[in-house]
Structures are given as C-alpha cells and as structure tokens.
Chain A
C-alpha cells in the first residue's frame, strides 16, 4: 500500500488537522507515515501545503517527487491547481469550490473550475456550504477529508476513531460535528463517482 498526498490550502484553513487525522489513522493501522509541514512566515495568509506519505514499507523522502502524488486534497480551488506538477496521471484531485480571496488578482472562478475539470480524476464539492448547511461552518476541512476518504485505503471507521481521538479534548459536540461533516463529504464523493 502506498498513498502520496499533497494537502493544499491557505494558511489558517486547517490542512494540518486533515493531515493529523489521516496520520493518526494510518499509524493506528500500522502504516508508515511521513508528513512535511509548513511553519513560520508562509503561514500568514499565504499558500500552504503539506506532503503526507503513507506506505506499508518504510518511506525514504519527506517530500513527494513530481508526478508521483496519488491525490491532491485541497480546501481551496485555485490552490488545488498549484500542485499539478506533483499529481500522477492516474491521481485524484479532490477540492473545495469555495474560493479564499485575499489577493487582488484572484482569477475568475469559472476559469479555475474549468482548469480543475481538465484533470482526469476529480471530485469537486462546495464544502463550506455543505458544512454550513449541516450547522458546522468550521468543519469544511472535515467535509473535504470525507470526500477524499474513498481513495485513502484506510477504513472509514479508523478515520472516525482518529477524529474522535483528535477532537475529544474539545468535547462531545465538537467530535460529533466533525464526524457528521466527514460523513457528508463521503456521501458527496460516493454520489459523484457513481455518476
């Protein structure tokens, strides 16, 4: 088993929580994990990414080579495109459609979606809206994780346990909110793939 994942977004959008949950789930399944994060200056509203590598064999590099990523998981549509050189031709791009506009020259969102549409395997969903509809606007990142979950090769129950252990300090309500968001995302991805 091998999954090389690029997590993408803007500083403060919660990609490290996604990474932490997948990482926790992988470790509890006895899978090797390496996860490179971005700290420091780049976190201040700039583009951020994390390289998350899972494998049943020991992992050499902390960084994913070009063209070898199995997935790009992005909480922001334009950011999902920034890492295309890393995506393998068979890889999946899973992205939120709600733009995070903090620059004056943010491109036309239609054009962004058009570029995403050119990627052979993609799942797009309005995670912000779905999270808000479910009454938990702050768990859009867990909706995205849910949408990515069919491709992780980690059983959904293990991910749910990881969410539980990650958020349990914050109380039962927060745990359930995040679990709910995960399931909504999973359902949306399943629906898109069966089309």
Chain B
C-alpha cells in the first residue's frame, strides 16, 4: 500500500489506473482537467496501454466511453459540470442502455463559480438519469469510491456518476493506494439489442432501470458510504453531503459532534438512515456542498413533516460553496473572523498575460469597430473572455461553448449588422462548427474571429483538435475562401489587421478571420523544454 500526496483529481486518476480502466476520455474543463492529464503523464498507464484522449467535446467523450463500455472494458469520462450539459443526451440515455464494462462519469462542480459561468449541481442530473451517484468528502474516499464505483457499475450494469467539487479536485492530501487489477477482456453485451434504443426496446430497458431503484436504495443503505454517527443531543440531527462533513468536523476540536449525523456519500438517498435520524431528532439541519437537493426532498413543498433547516430557510446561504465559518454560524457558534481587510487593498482580477496574442487581436478589433455603435461583439468561453474587463472591454456576451457564432447570427437576423463573433480555436471545434454551418446556409452577415492560439489555453495548454485544421474546416463548411482571412496578431501588423477586419465587417455575408499566433504560455514552455534539451 503506497502512500502518495495527490490532488483529489489525481487520486481519482490513480484509482482509475489501479481499478483496471482501459480508456479515459475528456474535454478539458476546470476543475476536472487534472484527472485526464495525470493519466496522460503516467508511465504506468502508458505501459498498460490505457487510452487517455482529449476529445472534441464532452458529448463525444461520453459516447466514446459508452462504446468502450459496450465492448466490455472499464472506462472513465471526465468533465466539468457545464460539460455535462453538452454530454447530457448520451449521459441520460446511457442509463437506459445500461453499461457492460464498468463506466464512471466524473462531473466536477464549481460552487462559488471560481472558474465557471454557473454553479449547477450535477447530482440533479444523476437523479434525473436514475443512476447511482458517489460523492467523496476527501481524497482517500475519492480514491476508494472509484474502485467501488466500477464494481457497482458492473454489478448493476449501470453507469455510475462520481460527483466532486472544486475544493476536493484541487486540494492535496495523502492517500493510500490499493492493489492494481487487470483490465477486462473484450466481451459484448449478452443481449446485442440492449444498446438499440428503439422505442419498443427503450420502454423495456427503462422499466428495468426503474425496477432497479429499490435495490440501489438498499445498496446505499448498506455499502458503508452513507453512515449514521450517533450523538447525545437530539435537539437536531445533521445531514451532510460531500465536503460539508469536513466543515462540520472542523468546528469540533475533538471531532466529536454532540448531534446525530448522517454523512451522505452515495445516492439514491439511504431512506432508512434518514428515517432513523428524523424519528430520533427534533429537527433536521441539512448541509450540502451544492444546491439544496436533499433538503428539497426532505422539506417537501408543503413543509408538513419535521422541521428542516438548510439553504432554503436561510440557515445556510442559498448559493456558493460552504466553508468552516458558514457552518459555524449555522451551528450558532461565534464568528472567529480576524482583522478586516484594509481599505487600500485593491481587487486584482485575472487578466490576459503579457504578450498574449488575444490582446493584439482585440486591439485591432476595437479599432475596426470604432465607426459602429457599441454592443455588437458576441464572445465565447476561454481566456479571451477576459476582454470583457478593462482595459479592452471588447465583448458583450459569454454564455456557453459555441454561443458566440449562433448568437451573432440571431442578432444579425434581428437587424444588428454587422454582428461579430469571437471564439477560440478549441471552442470552435468543441461547439462552434455546427453554428457556423447554420450561418453559411443562411448567408448571415456576420464576421467570425477564430482566435487561433493553437492550444486550449485557459485550462493550462492542452492539445486543441483545431490545430492545423481551421482553414480546411471553415472552407469545408462552405465559407467563401475570399472571406477567410488569416492574420498574424502582432503589434507591428496592427494597421493591416485593422484594415482586414474593417473590410470583412462591411461584407454582407459570412466572413471568418483567423488571427493565428501561439499562446505565450505554451510558447514559453516549449522554449524552456527546447533550451533544457540543448544543454
């Protein structure tokens, strides 16, 4: 049993290797990225021939994993919470097809939106799909739950969701690993129509899924991942999910909580444990790292049962991640806040790096747009979204992957001409291509800037599927080659870049401008490696 100090993400990755996966598929997204990166950098994984691939988007990742599961091998697919929106179609349907080889979907939520545009809670998706959900409270549990999750998946022939949050994903701690096991051999499902979701088959499969729910509840009650910890003070019973358990413990120096506690780590909810708590205690306090999923179920719309406190009644904040202080206040303890932050401390928002190619692209765009009224630039998800802030203040939207092109088309249809879309190379191949096809077919008067920095920058420089292919893709989608312009975003080219953008803004059809220069971070990293090798 080896002891390693690992990020939560890395513990999941190591566990997947040790549990005998044959492949992992993902699109980078904070806070999930390091799971796949760890396996890509692992010599052990390479020696075992484990496939560790970035995919075009989360949907293709989910479907590839489902294909590997169909063929009988264990596989993991990883994404950030909003990535699950993209993968929702195959995810929900994978519960109907069921799994063959063990299949774990890791969805990494970002409560408090450290690096995201919303704080949706993936547990709702798991519940919606009727699949088991595992939710670790620390790195060791994350490691152990992966092994258990694959067993659970193969036993019930169902996909299993592993739900984590930012603090667990990006926090390091010591973990003990377990003995490695072999990968599965290829073996097809016994019923070769199991994955054919024609209505007649899907109805039968869905009934099977519904029929398994009671057994899944029993599993939640007996697996040991949901625990009842007794307490002497029955004035309230506490239910924690995920990291909330740690924050509760932090508030008791000897780690002994006077109240009975049900610690949740597996769903569907363990009905018997919760029933016992409700029978023994005067009221319930629900502490959830995420949205009030458990609380809503227990409180009910009419509040006719036992008094339930939590995020809905204001005992805890309705939004944001929890921490030891928020939990202390909910328990009625005094706040331990130290000295206030002096007034002179200024906020320091993130910004584009010095030497970033996006800065030069935006400076040219800003100047080219000077003769038009403001509010015409629809942007997308990536480093270049930082141009919403001073000093650039170039963009007017950031909604979801690929929405720049389609929103620009909608605005142009409404009469906002010219309308501009700004999208990164990797975001374009993730979800921008289909929208561009729409625009081409309807000859929408939009100008699309695909900022090609040859990488997936915001998440730390993963490979981009667009690399070296953008011009061909855009041409193939039907954009007039005369209106495809490749620019080099450098200060010395500023005047000619402004001119090129102006020309395309005045064209009443689809133009695609591709400012192409490598991300300054990946360039620096590449140069350091090169220099090191020369030495």
Contact = CB atoms under 8 A, between A and B. Distances in A.
Q: Is B one of A's binding partners?
A: yes
B1 interface: no
Given A107-B345, A115-B342, A65 B250 contact: yes
A69 B250 CA distance: 13
Contacts of B249: 60-61
Given A40-B114, A46-B349, A82-B345, A60 B172 contact: no
Contacts of A111: 344
Given A35-B171, A84-B340, A85-B340, A40 B345 contact: no
Contact of A23 (B172, B337, B458): B172
Contacts of A68: 336
B134 interface: no
B229 to A, nearest CB: 14
A23 B340 CA distance: 29
Interface residues of B, number: 48
B305 interface: no
A177 B8 CA distance: 32
B7 interface: yes
A102 B348 contact: yes
Nearest to A44: B350
Given A37-B172, A78-B346, A66 B338 contact: yes
B342 to A, nearest CB: 4
Contact of B5 (A23, A67, A89, A105): A23
Number of contact residues on A: which range applies?
35 or more
A87 interface: yes
B492 to A, nearest CB: 24
Nearest to B168: A62
Contacts of B352: 44-45
A36 B346 contact: no
A84 B352 CA distance: 28
A106 interface: yes
A150 interface: no
B247 interface: yes
A195 interface: no
A103 B348 contact: yes
Contact of B167 (A11, A40, A63, A79): A63
Which of A39, A45, A64, A115 lies at the interface centre, i.e. has the most chain B CB atoms within 10 A of its CB?
A39
A75 to B, nearest CB: 13
A88 B336 CA distance: 9
A66 B336 contact: yes
Which of A34, A79, A86 lies at the interface centre, i.e. has the most chain B CB atoms within 10 A of its CB?
A34
A62 B341 contact: no
B364 to A, nearest CB: 21
Contacts of B33: 39
Given A33-B5, A39-B30, A40-B31, A61 B247 contact: yes
A37 B5 contact: no
Interface string B123-164: 000000000000000000000000000000000000000000
Contact of A84 (B114, B174, B247, B338): B338
Contacts of A32: 173-174
B325 A78 contact: no
B174 A27 contact: yes
Interface in B246-271: 246-247, 249-250, 255
List the 5 closest A-B pairs by CB distance, nearest first. Answer: A40-B30, A40-B115, A46-B350, A67-B336, A60-B249
30 contacts: A23-B172, A33-B172, A36-B170, A37-B7, A39-B170, A40-B459, A42-B114, A43-B350, A44-B353, A46-B349, A47-B348, A59-B173, A61-B324, A62-B173, A63-B323, A65-B250, A65-B325, A65-B328, A65-B336, A66-B335, A67-B338, A78-B344, A81-B341, A81-B342, A88-B338, A89-B338, A105-B346, A112-B344, A115-B342, A119-B339
Interface of A: 10-11, 23-24, 27, 32-47, 51, 59-69, 78-79, 81-82, 84-89, 91, 102-103, 105-108, 111-112, 115, 119
